[in-house]
Amino acid sequence: MTDVSTKPHSFIHRFVPARTPDRPPLLLLHGTGGDENDLLPLGEAVSAGAALLSPRGKVLENGMPRFFRRLAEGVFDEADVKARAEELADFVEEARARYGLGRPVALGFSNGANIAAAMLLVRPEVLAGAILLRATVPLVAAAVPALKDKPILLVSGAADPLVPAANAAKLAALFTTAGAALRHETLPVGHGLSQADLSLAGAWLAGLGR
């Protein structure tokens, strides 16, 4: 049974209760043009039975939902990024209270991975960890937070036309400097997701807490 709601904190979202309570809940964050339904199959594939919390981004770009505004391709409105990351963090805290959830692991793709990375920079205590698929640096001027041992899986594409290798490396260096337990993998793929992404994410999640 799933819950489809506009509350809490005015995010349209889907919630799927856990069938396997010992698995950490997943916060699913879609890419540009996606919605609250897009990543539900991905969440189930990488962690069958985990609770799934999947909000829809509130910013529209040419009618396509996103989690924050951008000024051009690859150029973010950083004030909006920070404000939206704070708002999403508040949503997660309210959803945890409503649904009785532990701290979730964010699983984000593209724009969703970028807002998850921003949350790690501005409200890291909200997340238990993160899987960032095709993420780029979301906040150039962000202070380096304390991410001591925070588990993060960053998966980049060697042929990704939207995320240059140098940008992905910069994000990895930022998390490493912050003390996170980072694993950075680069796959021989483009910006789209592959079976290798699912396999990496599933194995990484299975290893948490061991």
Model confidence pLDDT, tens digit, residues 115-133: 999 999 999 999 999 999 9
In the residue annotation, 191 being an active-site residue is answered as: yes
- The DSSP symbol for 163 reads S
Per-residue pLDDT reduced to its tens digit, 56-114: 999 999 999 999 999 887 789 999 999 999 999 999 999 999 999 999 999 999 999 99
- β-pairing, 13-16 with 52-55? antiparallel
Options 160, 184, 194, 197, the catalytic residue: 160
Domains and CATH numbers, the chain: 3-207 (3.40.50.1820)
At residue 84, the pLDDT reads 97
In the residue annotation, 160 being an active-site residue is answered as: yes
Is residue 1 scored above 50 in pLDDT?
no
| Helical segments of 47-159, H only | 78-99, 111-122
Phi/psi of residue 92, nearest 5 degrees: -60, -45
In the residue annotation, 110 being an active-site residue is answered as: yes
Sequence-distant (6+) residues with CB within 8 A of 177 are 144
Is there a contact between 124 and 155 (Cβ–Cβ < 8 Å)? no
Question: How far apart, in Å, are the Cα atoms of 64 and each of 12, 78, 205?
Answer: 14, 19, 30
Options 47, 110, 156, 197, the catalytic residue: 110
Options 191, 194, 197, 199, the catalytic residue: 191
At residue 187 the predicted structure's pLDDT band, cuts being 50, 70 and 90, is very high
Per-residue pLDDT reduced to its tens digit, 5-56: 555 457 999 999 999 989 999 999 999 999 999 999 999 999 999 999 999 9
